[in-house]
Amino acid sequence: MRRGSLTGRLRLMLVSVVTVMTIAFLVSTFLMVRKEEMDSAVREAELKLTGLSGSISASIESYLELSRLIMMEPDLAAFLRASNDSDIPGLTNDAKYSIQAILNVTNGVEAVYVFRRDGRYTCTKGSVFTLDGVTNSEENWPSEVLSLRGRSREYVNGSGALRRINGTPFISIERAVYDLNSQKLTGYLMMLISGSVIDQTVSSFSENDVCVVGVDGTYISGNMDIADFYERSMAYHGVTHITTEYQGNRVLVSASRVGDEPVVVMSLISLGNISIPGRTTGILIFLMAVTVFITIIVVRFVSHNITDPINRLSREIENSGDKEELRPIDLDMPGNELRILKDSYNSTVTRINELIQELISKEQSVQRAEMRVLQEQIKPHFLYNTIGTISALALENDSEDVSSALETMGRFYRNFLSKGDREIPLEKEVTIVKDYLSLQKLRYGDILIDEYDIAAEAADCIVPKLTLQPLVENCIYHGIRPKGEPGVIRIKAAVEGDDLHIYVTDTGVGMSSEYIDKLMSGKKNGSGDEGSFGLWGTIERIRYYSHRDDVFRITSEEGEYTCVELIIPAIKGALVREEKPDV
């Protein structure tokens, strides 16, 4: 056995697999237990935080509604609007009692302060708190509250203007007060809610597992030890989870902010010690032994039935491609799969050779079709008739009409040739059609009317040369002329999505539905004559150009009209300017 052979590497792989599998079993088991434990703790924590947040949010919302009722109290509005020479003491008491009447229907509000712009204020239970002496001055009212234009802002332990005498936590709802009629600022309201409101909510949960703090870390309710794990970032990143140590145990600390309130709820869940049971260890040992045995069997089987045959097959495939033409291989392969692989390769080689020949034949057919189209268009009788018409003009009219006709014919053939280009802009293709119809009008006179509707974005799309002229010729010879009366040929073009749509319509004799079905069925010259070659020559060239079959549609009504719609990829190109004829 050669060094570095696939069989040798398979045997080396056996030792590696056994080692890796042993480590993988141990590590994966440990990680699975850890992950399941963590996922369970996260789910439990998020459930607690969601319930606690919802309860606190609903409680605060009820007090926000209460503060709005207080702002609308008439006696309070009279107190705030009163001038300095009014009976301020009486208005102060009236406002105080009206506020107290509203507070009698609820619990938890420690006090309500309402300040006038001149610094006077009224309050309920004012003895519970101590003012710092700055709130009663308008210039010291919090600007972040004033900017809310009457909407509330909540704080933990106030916005710095007062403090509770006994130091227990509270939540303040603060808002600027505006006159209902004039909408002018008249005062500042502070509703102070006891922290016991939060305590009542927390009591419905396990108080040892949850904690409520302010966004600045101020403790409000619950297990105070949990507050030591608080970080300011917990108030700004949705639900935050961290693992840490608490009283010698691994724990999961989770936190989330209560909506837009200045309150963060936290939970603490213990993570048990990881241990692998003896039964699990026995199962792992058994699985490893089975893995080693199966690996040995697999290595021997792969070496005998796969690697060696594949090496032979690989050498034969390399040798089969040494020559210019791929050739099938002849090699006995063990097993159905390898025989199928060899047969599939041989079939693919045969099919590729066939496709190459088909492509060569198709390209030759397309080139012959293009040559036939060009030959069909430059018919001798057309040239003879045009020269005869110009000769008649020379006899009947002056030299200017003759010169114009000759110039039109020269321009037509110059654009027709286009220096051998196979694709030209649609704008130039339309110019060829216009010149062609101008020459035809010399022969048929006013029987032909041509109309054009070419969208600006379609004008510089590239199309195969002589796409429209064969269709226009069909309109004349198989549509308008058999009808025996003046007819209209309309050419419309527009870009729709990624495709250029060209509509060629004539008001001629039309087509029967049976004839259209033969044309749409894909049978070349479905009518049995050569009259439809101009249409089919154009369609075959567009199919080859577009690399798809669905490139045309035909609609018609007998005795009324026929419309041929061409669908070509909308490929933009620089406009080819018409060259001046050589003198």
Helix, coil or strand: residue 180: coil
CATH number at residue 123: 3.30.450.20
CATH number at residue 478: 3.30.565.10
Pair 470, 441: CB distance under 8 Å: no
Q: Is the pLDDT of residue 314 over 90?
A: no
Distance from chain centroid for Cα 107:
52
Sheet with 263-271, side-by-side order of all strands: 219-222, 210-214, 263-271, 249-257, 240-246
DSSP, res 583:
-
Question: Pick from 298, 320, 354: which residue ends a domain?
Answer: 354
Q: Are 349 and 402 in a shared domain?
A: no
Higher pLDDT among residues 368 and 55, named by residue: 55
Return the pLDDT at 461: 94
Q: What is the 3-state secondary structure (H, E, C) of 46-68?
A: HHHHHHHHHHHHHHHHHHHHHHH
Residues in Cβ contact with 427 at an 8 Å cutoff, skipping those fewer than 6 apart: 454, 459, 460, 575
Return the pLDDT at 396: 63
Q: What is the CA radius of gyration of the chain?
A: 46
What value does the mean pLDDT take over residues 419-440?
83
Answer whether residue 565 is part of any domain.
Answer: yes
Return the pLDDT at 335: 62
Joined together, the tokens standing for residue 429 give 């293709």
Joined together, the tokens standing for residue 363 give 């390209």
Q: Give the Cα separation of 217 and 230 in Å (integer).
A: 6
Joined together, the tokens standing for residue 304 give 């005998």
Q: Are 155 and 75 in a shared domain?
A: yes
Q: Are 520 and 407 in a shared domain?
A: yes
What is the tens place of the pLDDT at every residue in 5-48? 555 666 677 677 767 777 876 777 677 777 777 888 889 889 98
pLDDT interval class at 207 (50, 70, 90):
low
Answer whether residue 46 is part of any domain.
Answer: no
Q: Are 194 and 68 in a shared domain?
A: yes
Return the pLDDT at 420: 53
Q: Are 394 and 337 in a shared domain?
A: no
Q: Is the pLDDT of residue 323 over 60?
A: no
Q: Is the pLDDT of residue 397 over 50?
A: yes
Using alpha carbons, list the distances in angstroms from residue 98 to 143, 178, 183, 415: 28, 18, 22, 96
What value does the mean pLDDT take over residues 435-457?
87
Answer whether residue 456 is part of any domain.
Answer: yes
Pair 381, 443: CB distance under 8 Å: no
Return the pLDDT at 530: 47
Q: Are 421 and 547 in a shared domain?
A: yes
Question: Pick from 354, 388, 410: which residue ends a domain?
Answer: 354
- The residues facing 553 across adjacent strands are 565
Q: Are 461 and 497 in a shared domain?
A: yes
Answer whether residue 93 is part of any domain.
Answer: yes
Q: Are 531 and 489 in a shared domain?
A: yes
Q: Are 341 and 398 in a shared domain?
A: no
Q: Give the Cα separation of 527 and 209 in Å (integer).
A: 89
What is the tens place of the pLDDT at every residue in 489-499? 999 999 999 99
Question: Pick from 177, 199, 221: which residue ends a domain?
Answer: 199
What pTM does this model have? 0.46
Using alpha carbons, list the distances in angstroms from residue 459 to 392, 488, 500: 36, 22, 10
HSE (side-chain half, CA atoms, 13 Å) at 372: 15
Highest mean pLDDT among 126-130, 227-231, 308-312: 227-231
Instruction: Tell which residue, 70, 57, 167, has the closest CA to residue 113.
Output: 70
Pair 49, 255: CB distance under 8 Å: yes
Return the pLDDT at 451: 94
Number of domain units in the chain: 3
315-320, long-range: CB < 8 A, 24+ apart: 317/345, 320/349
Joined together, the tokens standing for residue 101 give 């009447």
Higher pLDDT among residues 509 and 422, named by residue: 509
Q: Is the pLDDT of residue 508 over 70?
A: yes
Q: For a pLDDT cut of 90, what percent of the chain falls above it?
A: 24
Q: Give the Cα separation of 580 and 583 in Å (integer).
A: 9
Using alpha carbons, list the distances in angstroms from residue 580 to 415, 451, 486, 529: 11, 26, 34, 40
Q: Are 71 and 152 in a shared domain?
A: yes
Answer whether residue 29 is part of any domain.
Answer: no
pLDDT interval class at 336 (50, 70, 90):
low
Joined together, the tokens standing for residue 264 give 């963060």
Q: Is the pLDDT of residue 253 over 70?
A: yes
Return the pLDDT at 1: 46
Answer whether residue 534 is part of any domain.
Answer: yes
DSSP, res 570:
-
Q: Is the pLDDT of residue 528 over 50?
A: no
What value does the mean pLDDT take over residues 432-451?
85
What value does the mean pLDDT take over residues 50-63?
90
Answer whether residue 294 is part of any domain.
Answer: yes
Answer whether residue 243 is part of any domain.
Answer: no
Pair 569, 499: CB distance under 8 Å: yes
Q: Are 350 and 389 in a shared domain?
A: no
What angle is formed at CA 93 by the lines to CA 92 and CA 95, rounded to 5 degrees? 65
Q: Are 407 and 544 in a shared domain?
A: yes
Domain span at residue 141? Answer: 62-199
Highest mean pLDDT among 162-166, 230-234, 372-376, 401-405: 230-234
